[in-house]
């Protein structure tokens, strides 16, 4: 198994190399001069000084030279410095990533807990009223633009009813004056999380429950399910033990690929809720031409994506006794 | 035995005597019986008609401003109110629908073309070609979709107006095809193993007729279902992109950049009629397409006997 | 005429009807079957594919899949209790315990994600009050009984590690683990190689003698029937058309369909020439004629065959046939029943 993983990681290197070129080229071809962004509006600097700054930022010379310099530092673990925040990008990502993770992990756990029993029940009562209801419900979830759903919830729950905070992660006044205790701090963050979690969990629930339903329907029609019934097992045991353990194979594979996106998911939503996560800093960075941050976040997401694919393949071979990775 | 099961005395109706329906006819019959899918189809047709003919009937132009009614709520003269510049929201909503749906269609076409050609070539020719194409597919597949499309949208900021719409469609298409390519390749690989393809081989059919007469019809159901679903997701992607200001931009309206109006807090709070209808329309369109896609999937699945 | 002394009655199926309610209409897969099974005997149910023999087998344990339904009024009496209309719990007590079943496809009939041992133990633990160790010992014992080498190793194997023949042996071990009185075997050898087929069949015969299990054997293969069966039911289009002890049936087939089947079977005596075939095909079970279902293909067809369903005529003790040809020799009539 370790040999297999190492081999896959080795195979990943050329892919990452090409992806890094694509990402680098994309980011560098954004219009606008990052040096101007660095200097801020209305600053009076001579062209000579500008060139000095350009060199400091590593933006001088032809594109391929820039790439080689950037990649050289990348290999040493240096992702450069943020123009906007004036600190190392690694530090910046390390700071914000956990906010993204917090939001995503809670939503995913909720979605998994609800979608599995519902998806299974849908499969056992295919085309029943119950099944049709949840099929349509989950179609809502994959059809609504997440940010719009978020906006509507904020509009009604926060603005009209005043039940929940509108955006951000903490109440600015409370945070500025300090929380009386840790529970007040947690409660504040939790209340800010309610709407984004609902939106995210609704989306994940929708795709997961559909997945569970279809995987279970595939399994329920298999011959070994009939064998299990012929043994005299209770229908519950047949479904939850014999059938579900088989449906778990594709499901675990899917969930494996979700894990990395816990660190990078929900980018547009973070902008809507001003949630200080990775998506938020990416869009800020793009808007302010903070090139090193943009490149780093993109590359980071790409690496996560590749690791997600690897993880799901590894999990697949773990849960399915038929697969041997040797 | 109840009488209605007996067709005619003394006559055995055999299967050969029944009308033989083609696979497409069977699929359509199945689709028609699926009430939810039919509802989706009808909804989609209504929306398409509304966005095509609505603006014509309303007889306005993009540059019509009602200076007397700036930022007014819904009324009889402006059913969905006006924005701050005095433009009719309903009119812009319908115009925006044209662009949003068109972006969906164009992206889906690009996705399907690239997916079928690349996946098909990889599956059909195998060997080195397969290896190279699948490597390429893997690379595009590994690009993180949302951040990448946002970054690409940002690099194309300088493009304006209606051309931007085409650019956005291409960007979405260029990042979306790998899933379909993988599906098509997989399907073709499994078809190649089947006996009827070996029969084609032994009959000495040309590549052309093997691909177009035998393989394409067999992957068509996958492609059709995937095309509808990728159209739905392209509409959502465009909406998100334009919402962030990195897709189609003003003055060309799309549902995405109409929703962008909500990013201004006072408009968000005080003029919901400017941004909410766009979201609702976007949702209705996408769900109608998804319903049709689901219905097609069931209808085209020969295993699904209902 | 004196009845032969027979064993205790095990299963009494009367007027069994299984209909499939599809969108196109009602498909009568099994349409009024009557037969009995006795302890220690092997009953073969033989017929073409689609004649309802598998559905008959499934319906006994109530395992017919949607949209199939056992029609009210059908009776499947096991040891004096009607299994149709039993509660789920009651029928589950019988499944795998008193009546077990093995299927046609050994490759897909075992759950791929459970170990062989666990799958056998599951039934034992369910139906008997035993500890896990005892159940495991039983699993090993059963695997030995069905002729699997190194059973201690195989219990920890997954199904994909075994060949098709081995898997069918495992299925048999699993089915017999609770010492059932009846084993329903639905085409148990169809999917296997010929040599493996013979091994599995002789294994089943041995086990029947050893354990005293009755076997209901569903097959389309008259060779298998000749080798295994004590009694035979011939099914056509959802009905039993002829029933007889195996020797009687082969020596003295009565129904035109049975005769056709016999004639289509190759034997060492037929030299050269073509094998006989039965012209035509089975009627669509959605549109069954009102008369005899075999009328269209029957070489001896008469006008009345198309008018009404043929009567069941008694040829000899235990030899019955549903055909108008034998109305005159019907012992039922002569005996004044």
The answer, for A264 touching chain B at a CB cutoff of 8 Å, is yes
Q: How far apart are CA B303 and CA B31, in angstroms?
A: 14
**H/E element, B290:** helix B272-300
Q: How far apart are CA A142 and CA A240, in angstroms?
A: 27
pLDDT at residue A287, as a whole number:
87
DSSP A81: B
Closest CA to C100 of C114, C119, C72, C87: C119
Q: How far apart are CA C294 and CA C48, in angstroms?
A: 13
Whether residue C184 contacts residue C102, with contact meaning beta carbons closer than 8 Å, is answered with: yes
Distances (CA, A) of C184 to C58, C117, C195, C255, C268: 9, 22, 22, 26, 31
pLDDT at residue C267, as a whole number:
67
Whether residue B284 contacts residue B212, with contact meaning beta carbons closer than 8 Å, is answered with: no
Closest CA to B117 of B209, B214, B206, B216: B216
Whether the complex's predicted ipTM is more than 0.85 is answered with yes
Query: Residues 6 or more apart from B178 whose CB is under 8 A from it?
Result: B115, B137, B138, B140, B141
* C205-216 pLDDT tens trace: 988 888 889 999
Q: Which residues of chain C have pLDDT under 70?
A: 1-6, 267-275, 334-337
Query: Residues 6 or more apart from C6 whose CB is under 8 A from it?
Result: C38
Q: A1-25: string of b/e by CB count within 10 Å (b at 16+)? A: eeeeeeebeeebeebbeebbebbbe
Q: What are phi and psi of C17, to 5 degrees?
A: -125, 130
Domain boundaries, chain C: 9-98+180-266+279-334
pLDDT at residue C6, as a whole number:
63
The answer, for B276 touching chain A at a CB cutoff of 8 Å, is yes
**H/E element, B39:** helix B35-58
* Tokens standing for residue A227: 């064998």
List of chain C residues whose C-beta atoms are within 8 Å of the C-beta of residue A223: 103, 105, 108-109
Q: Nearest C-alpha of chain A: how many angstroms from C219? A: 18
Residue with tokens 């540059």: B63
Whether residue A99 contacts residue A300, with contact meaning beta carbons closer than 8 Å, is answered with: no
Measured between CB atoms, which of B12, B305, B306 is closest to C289?
A: B12
Q: How far apart are CA C92 and CA C61, in angstroms?
A: 9
Contact A233 C126 (CB under 8 A): yes
Domain boundaries, chain B: 25-56+89-299
Q: What are the strands, taking DSSP E only, across C130-262?
A: 182-186, 214-219, 231-236, 239-245
* A38-89 pLDDT tens trace: 776 666 777 777 778 777 777 777 888 888 888 888 888 888 888 888 888 8
Residue with tokens 């005997």: C41
| Predicted confidence pLDDT, tens digits, chain B (306 residues) | 333 333 333 344 444 444 566 777 888 888 888 888 899 999 999 999 999 998 888 877 666 666 666 767 777 777 777 777 778 888 889 999 999 999 999 999 999 999 999 998 898 888 899 999 999 998 998 888 888 999 999 888 888 777 888 999 999 999 999 999 999 998 888 887 777 777 777 777 777 777 767 777 778 888 998 999 999 999 999 999 999 988 888 778 899 989 988 888 888 888 888 899 999 999 999 999 999 998 888 888 765 544
List of chain A residues whose C-beta atoms are within 8 Å of the C-beta of residue C100: 230-231
List of chain A residues whose C-beta atoms are within 8 Å of the C-beta of residue C93: 232
Contact B259 A145 (CB under 8 A): yes
Sign (positive or negative) of CA dihedral A291, A292, A295, A297: negative
Closest CA to B220 of B47, B23, B36, B17: B23
* C273-298 pLDDT tens trace: 666 777 777 777 777 888 888 888 88
Measured between CB atoms, which of C97, C127, C160 is closest to A322?
A: C160
Size of interface A-B (CB pairs under 8 A): 116
Whether residue A224 contacts residue A290, with contact meaning beta carbons closer than 8 Å, is answered with: no
Measured between CB atoms, which of A19, A136, A148 is closest to B279?
A: A148
Contact B283 A144 (CB under 8 A): yes
List of chain A residues whose C-beta atoms are within 8 Å of the C-beta of residue B282: 145, 148
pLDDT at residue A256, as a whole number:
82
Q: Which residue, among C65, C289, C295, would best test binding to B if mutated, counting the most B CBs under 10 Å from its CB?
A: C289
Q: Nearest C-alpha of chain A: how many angstroms from B151? A: 7
Query: Residues 6 or more apart from A168 whose CB is under 8 A from it?
Result: A192, A273, A274, A275, A276
pLDDT at residue B67, as a whole number:
67
Query: Residues 6 or more apart from C108 whose CB is under 8 A from it?
Result: A222, A223, A224
What are the residues facing C234 on neighbouring strands? C46, C242
What is the third-level CATH fold of B25-56+89-299? Answer: MetI-like fold (1.10.3720)
Contact A301 B142 (CB under 8 A): no
The answer, for A17 touching chain B at a CB cutoff of 8 Å, is no
The answer, for A218 touching chain C at a CB cutoff of 8 Å, is no
* C151-190 pLDDT tens trace: 999 999 999 999 988 999 999 999 999 989 999 999 888 8
pLDDT at residue B66, as a whole number:
67
Q: How far apart are CA C151 and CA C145, in angstroms?
A: 10
The stretches of A221-290 forming alpha helices (DSSP H) are 223-230, 235-237, 244-261, 267-272, 278-287
List of chain A residues whose C-beta atoms are within 8 Å of the C-beta of residue B294: 135, 139
Residue with tokens 């809720």: A273
pLDDT at residue A41, as a whole number:
62
Q: How far apart are CA A101 and CA A261, in angstroms?
A: 9
Cβ neighbours, 10 Å, residue B178: 22
Query: Residues 6 or more apart from B84 whose CB is under 8 A from it?
Result: B70, B71, B267, B271
Please tell me the pTM assigned to this model.
0.85
CATH superfamily assigned to domain C9-98+180-266+279-334? P-loop containing nucleotide triphosphate hydrolases (3.40.50.300)
Contact C113 A249 (CB under 8 A): yes
Q: Which residue, among A147, A257, A279, A302, would best test binding to B if mutated, counting the most B CBs under 10 Å from its CB?
A: A147
| Predicted confidence pLDDT, tens digits, chain A (326 residues) | 788 889 989 988 999 999 999 999 998 888 877 777 777 666 677 777 777 877 777 777 788 888 888 888 888 888 888 888 888 889 999 989 999 999 999 999 999 999 999 999 999 998 889 998 999 899 999 999 999 999 999 999 988 888 888 888 887 777 778 778 888 888 888 888 999 999 999 999 999 999 999 999 999 989 999 999 999 999 999 999 999 999 998 898 888 878 877 887 678 899 889 999 998 899 989 888 888 899 999 999 999 888 888 888 888 888 888 876 44
Measured between CB atoms, which of C61, C95, C111 is closest to A224?
A: C111
Please provide the CATH number assigned to the domain covering A91-319: 1.10.3720.10
pLDDT at residue A152, as a whole number:
94
Contact C284 B11 (CB under 8 A): no
């Amino acid at each position: 198994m370790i040999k297999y993983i190492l081999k896959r990681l080795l195979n990943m290197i050329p892919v990452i190399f090409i992806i890094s070129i694509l990402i680098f080229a994309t980011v560098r071809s954004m219009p606008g001069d990052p040096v101007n962004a660095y200097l801020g509006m209305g600053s009076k600097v001579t062209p000579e000084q500008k060139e000095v700054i350009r060199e400091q930022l590593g933006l001088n010379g032809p594109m391929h030279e820039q790439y080689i310099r950037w990649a050289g530092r990348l290999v040493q673990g240096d992702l450069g410095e943020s123009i906007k925040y004036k600190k190392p990008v690694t530090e910046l990502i390390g700071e914000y990533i956990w906010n993204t993770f917090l939001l995503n992990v809670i939503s995913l756990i909720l979605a998994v807990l609800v979608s599995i029993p519902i998806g299974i029940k849908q499969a056992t009562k295919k085309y029943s009223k119950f099944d049709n209801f949840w099929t349509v419900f989950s179609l809502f979830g994959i059809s609504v633009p997440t940010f719009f759903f978020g906006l509507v919830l904020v509009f009604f729950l926060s603005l009209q009813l005043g039940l929940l905070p509108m955006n951000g992660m903490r109440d600015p006044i409370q945070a500025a004056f300090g929380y009386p205790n840790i529970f007040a701090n947690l409660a504040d963050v939790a209340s800010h999380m309610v709407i984004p979690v609902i939106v995210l969990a609704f989306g994940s629930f929708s795709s997961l429950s559909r997945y569970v339903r279809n995987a279970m329907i595939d399994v329920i029609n298999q011959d070994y399910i009939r064998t299990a019934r012929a043994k005299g097992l209770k229908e519950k045991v047949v479904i939850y033990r014999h059938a579900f353990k088989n449906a778990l194979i594709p499901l675990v594979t899917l969930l494996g690929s979700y894990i990395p996106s816990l660190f990078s998911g929900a980018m547009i939503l973070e902008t809507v809720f001003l949630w200080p996560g990775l998506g938020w800093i990416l869009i800020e960075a793009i808007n302010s031409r903070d090139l090193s941050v943009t490149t780093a976040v993109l590359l980071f997401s790409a690496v996560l994506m590749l690791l997600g694919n690897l993880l799901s393949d590894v999990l697949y071979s773990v849960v399915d006794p038929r697969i041997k990775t040797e | 035995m109840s009488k209605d099961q007996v067709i005619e005395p003394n006559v055995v109706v055999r299967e050969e005597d029944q009308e033989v329906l083609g696979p497409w006819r069977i699929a359509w019959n199945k689709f028609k019986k699926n009430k939810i899918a039919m509802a989706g189809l009808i909804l989609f047709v209504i929306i398409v008609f509304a966005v095509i003919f609505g603006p014509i009937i309303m007889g306005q132009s993009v540059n019509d401003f009602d200076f007397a009614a700036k930022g007014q709520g819904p009324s009889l003269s402006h059913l969905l109110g006006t924005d701050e510049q005095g433009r009719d929201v309903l009119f812009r909503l319908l115009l925006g629908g044209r662009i949003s749906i068109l972006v969906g269609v164009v992206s889906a076409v690009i996705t399907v073309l690239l997916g079928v050609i690349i996946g098909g070539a990889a599956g059909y020719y195998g060997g080195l070609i397969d290896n190279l194409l699948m490597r390429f597919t893997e690379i595009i597949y590994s690009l993180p979709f949302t951040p990448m499309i946002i970054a690409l949208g940002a690099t194309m900021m300088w493009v304006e107006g209606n051309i931007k719409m085409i650019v956005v469609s291409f960007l979405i298409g260029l990042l979306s095809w790998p899933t379909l390519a993988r599906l098509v390749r997989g399907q073709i690989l499994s078809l190649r193993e089947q006996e009827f393809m070996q029969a084609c081989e032994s009959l000495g059919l040309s590549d052309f007729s093997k691909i177009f007469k035998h393989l394409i019809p067999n992957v068509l159901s996958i492609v059709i279902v995937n095309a509808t679903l990728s159209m739905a997701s392209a509409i959502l992607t465009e909406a998100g992109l334009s919402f962030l200001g990195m897709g189609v931009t003003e003055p060309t309206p799309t549902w995405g950049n109409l929703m962008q109006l909500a990013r201004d807090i006072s408009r968000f709070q005080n003029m919901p009629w400017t941004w909410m209808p766009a979201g609702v329309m976007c949702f209705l369109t996408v769900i109608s397409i998804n319903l049709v896609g689901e219905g097609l999937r069931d209808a085209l699945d020969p295993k699904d006997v209902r | 005429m004196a009845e032969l002394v027979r064993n205790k009655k095990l299963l009494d199926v009367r007027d069994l009807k299984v209909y499939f309610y599809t969108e196109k209409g009602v498909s009568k897969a099994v349409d009024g079957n009557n037969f009995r099974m006795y302890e220690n005997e092997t009953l073969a149910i033989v017929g073409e594919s689609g004649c309802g023999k598998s559905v008959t087998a499934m319906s006994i344990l109530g395992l017919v899949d949607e949209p199939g339904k056992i029609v009210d009024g059908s009776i499947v009496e096991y040891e004096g209790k009607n299994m149709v209309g039993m509660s789920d719990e009651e029928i589950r007590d019988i499944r795998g315990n008193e009546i077990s079943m093995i299927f046609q496809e050994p490759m897909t009939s075992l759950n791929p994600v459970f170990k062989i041992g666990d799958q056998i133990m599951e039934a034992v633990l369910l139906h008997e009050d035993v500890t896990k160790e005892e159940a495991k010992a039983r699993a090993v014992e059963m695997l030995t009984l069905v002729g699997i080498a190194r059973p201690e190793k195989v219990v920890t194997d997954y199904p994909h590690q075994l060949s098709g023949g081995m898997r069918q042996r495992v299925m048999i071990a699993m089915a017999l683990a609770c010492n059932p009185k009846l084993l329903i075997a639905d085409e148990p050898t169809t999917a296997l190689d010929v040599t493996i087929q013979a091994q599995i069949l002789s294994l089943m015969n041995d086990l029947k003698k050893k354990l005293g299990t009755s076997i209901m054997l569903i097959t389309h293969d008259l060779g298998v029937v000749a080798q295994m069966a004590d009694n035979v039911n011939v099914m056509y289009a959802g009905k039993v058309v002829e029933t007889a002890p195996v020797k009687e049936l082969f020596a003295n087939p009565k129904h035109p369909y049975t005769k056709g089947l016999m004639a289509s079977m190759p034997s060492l005596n037929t030299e050269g020439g073509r094998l006989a075939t039965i012209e035509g095909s089975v009627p669509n079970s959605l549109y069954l004629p009102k008369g005899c279902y075999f009328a269209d293909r029957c070489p001896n067809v008469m006008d009345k065959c198309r008018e009404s369903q043929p009567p069941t005529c008694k040829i000899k003790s235990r030899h019955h046939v549903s055909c108008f040809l034998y109305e005159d020799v019907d012992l039922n009539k002569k005996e004044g029943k």
